[in-house]
Amino acid sequence: MFSNFLIWFVIVPVIMMAGLACCGNSNMKAIRTVMVVCSTVLLGMAIWLVCEFLDMRAAGDTSEMLFTGSWMWYEPLNIHLAVGVDGISVLMLLLSAIIVFAGTFASWKIDPLPKNFFLWFALLSTGVFGFFISIDMFTMFMFYEVALIPMYLLIGVWGTGRKEYSAMKLTLMLMGGSAFLMLGLLGIYWHSVPAGGVPTWNILEIAHNSAIAPSWQNLLFCFTFVGFGVLGAMFPFHTWSPDGHACAPTAVSMLHAGVLMKLGGYGCFRIAIYLLPSAAQELAWIFIILTGISIVYGAFSACVQTDLKYINAYSSVSHCGMVLFAILMLNRTAMTGGILQMLSHGLMTALFFALIGMIYGRTHTRDIRQMGGLMKIMPYLGVCYMIAGFASLGLPGMSGFVAEMTIFFGAFENGDMFHRVFVIAATCAIVITAVYILRVVGKLILGPVQDDHHLTLTDATWWERFSTATLIVCLAGIGFFPNWINETIQHSFTPIINALNMAI
């Protein structure tokens, strides 16, 4: 079991938690050492995994999932601990590792209870990594829950503002989504094999059997898509996102918007669409309407917010809506764009939240009306904020542009009027995004200094520079050389596209 490389993505965070548990309560040095070592190891593992994966693919290994392994866990219900990765999960693991790494540096001076904070943080990353390596629906769901629960404490204890309310709201709404999801997963489980067989949780086997009757598929599709859609901030189930993000501490916002929201999108195509293809063909239109609304609605809402985190939370609603929108287009190009948008949005939002945390830590306000001219006071952070803004509004050379364009061109492949209208509506979001991003940049970063007290503030420290520079390099990396990622993702969609084609 331990010879499987993927399992170590869960073991390392567990070791990280054990290491943290051994540290003294306020021994910052030891805590930081553990965190930095383990997150670097995770990042290294993720990079190695990507290289190895690409090598194996280049060497002609065309099986759907690589590094597979499966161990019986609970026999009566046929639950396995089954792992395996394709091109998409590999990239998602890399994204998570990058954000955990950057998040560690961004919460260098967390206060109070640093040890407990990082313990929960590590548990959260365990859940995230576990989710992306699983190919057994039950273990997937379990890791999903493991990732959600620490959120409550992380926001409730270390948050700011109305943190108890937000933590409760976030947890309850996501748990509500989980309830739908559990129903959907159980339904898929019971119908996973033709009559008489032993039901299975394994995604590959279920897809291979394709034994779920179309009428059941429609019901289960709604359950699973709504269940994951809640986490993907789909309209009208997005309201946990603004409050939750606004109150969460920096690193948690980063990890939550950067990775956790991606769990929703990932689940949508890996389970809802892959396992229930005929329902996806039939019912996609409902969710296209909802996500189309998300895109435009989030962008318009962001235009009038005054709290930096609210602006980004609504912008996340818009961008994550784009992810689900792309996945629902059910063709290879658009779905690839959806995954690219996940990566791009993950990095970009993490960068945004890191910067907002750093600015908030200095000015003690997130209200853009009370700040201004930060470029003069903290040029490094100002420049980074502008770069993040440009990435968000889809400037070429940044990942956002690549993702959005892939989505638009893919989505436009659907030739009927319904899809066209929604694609055009979605493209309008790039203008609205420019409006709210430039509004913030103009008020916050540029212009005259609003508050003379801010003149004494200092620019970024080395760990802040390191954290933001990592993310910027990744953003620009995807933006400049998108094709290898594009090809990796496109290739990984082959089974899903085949399943969709067979379902027609």
Partner 1 sequence: MGTTLPILILAIPFAMFLILGIGGVKMSRKLAGILGICANGTLAVLAYIVAFTYFFSGDAAFILDGVRQQVQIFDVTWLAFTERMVVNIGFLLDPICAMMLVVITTISFMVHLYSWGYMEHEPGFQRYYAFLSLFTFSMLGLVVATNIFQMYIFWELVGVSSYLLIGFFYKLPSAVAASKKAFIVTRFADLFMLIGILVLSYYVSHTPADGPLGGASAFNFLMLNSNPGNVLASTVGATFMGGSVLTWAMIFIFVGGMGKSAMMPLHIWLPDAMEGPTPVSALIHAATMVVAGVYLVARFFPVFCIVPDSLTFITVVGAITAFYAAVVACAQIDIKRILAFSTISQIAFMMVALGCAYNEPVEGVHYSGLGYMAGMFHLFTHAMFKALLFLGAGCLIHAVHSNNYTEMGGLRKYMPICHITFLIGCLAIAGIWPFSGFFSKDEMLAAMFSRHWFWGAWMTMVAGLTAFYMFRMYYMVFWWEENPKYRESGHKPHDAPWQMSLPLIILALVSCVAGFIPFGEFVTFNGEPYHIHIEPSVAATSLTVAVAAIALATVMYAKKNPLPSKIKNLWPGLWTAANRRFYWDEIYQFITHRFIFNIICRGIAWFDRHIIDGTMDAMATVTQWCSVRIKGMQSGSIQTYVIWYFIGAVLLAAVTWICIL
Footprint of partner 1 (CB under 8 A)? 169, 172-173, 235-236, 238-240, 297, 300-301, 303-305, 332-333, 373, 375-376, 379, 390, 393-397, 401-402, 405-406, 408-410, 412-413, 415, 423-424, 427-428, 430-431, 434-435, 438-439, 442, 445-448, 482-483, 486-487
Q: How far apart are CA 414 and CA 453, in angstroms?
A: 55
How far apart are CB 423 and partner 1 at their closest, in Å?
A: 8
Quickly count helices (H) and strands (E) in the chain. 22, 2
Tokens of 95: 């994204």
How far apart are CB 391 and partner 1 at their closest, in Å?
A: 11
Nearer to partner 1, 39 or 301 (CB): 301
How far apart are CB 375 and partner 1 at their closest, in Å?
A: 6
Nearer to partner 1, 282 or 413 (CB): 413
156: nearest Cα among 145, 143, 171, 142? 171
Nearer to partner 1, 84 or 372 (CB): 372
Nearer to partner 1, 22 or 455 (CB): 455
Beta strands in 36-172 (DSSP E): 66-74, 79-85
How far apart are CB 250 and partner 1 at their closest, in Å?
A: 24
User: Who contacts 167 (Cβ-Cβ below 8 Å, separation ≥6)?
Assistant: 151, 152, 153, 155, 156, 159, 244, 247
Contact 225, 268 (CB under 8 A): yes
Nearer to partner 1, 119 or 359 (CB): 359
How far apart are CB 291 and partner 1 at their closest, in Å?
A: 15
CA 336 to each of CA 152, 326, 332, 434: distance values in angstroms, whole numbers, following the listed order: 32, 8, 6, 24
CA 442 to each of CA 236, 308, 445, 451: distance values in angstroms, whole numbers, following the listed order: 30, 13, 6, 16
Nearer to partner 1, 149 or 430 (CB): 430
- Distance linking the first and last C-alpha atoms of the chain: 39
SS3 state at 427: helix
How far apart are CB 265 and partner 1 at their closest, in Å?
A: 20
Nearer to partner 1, 89 or 406 (CB): 406
How far apart are CB 243 and partner 1 at their closest, in Å?
A: 8
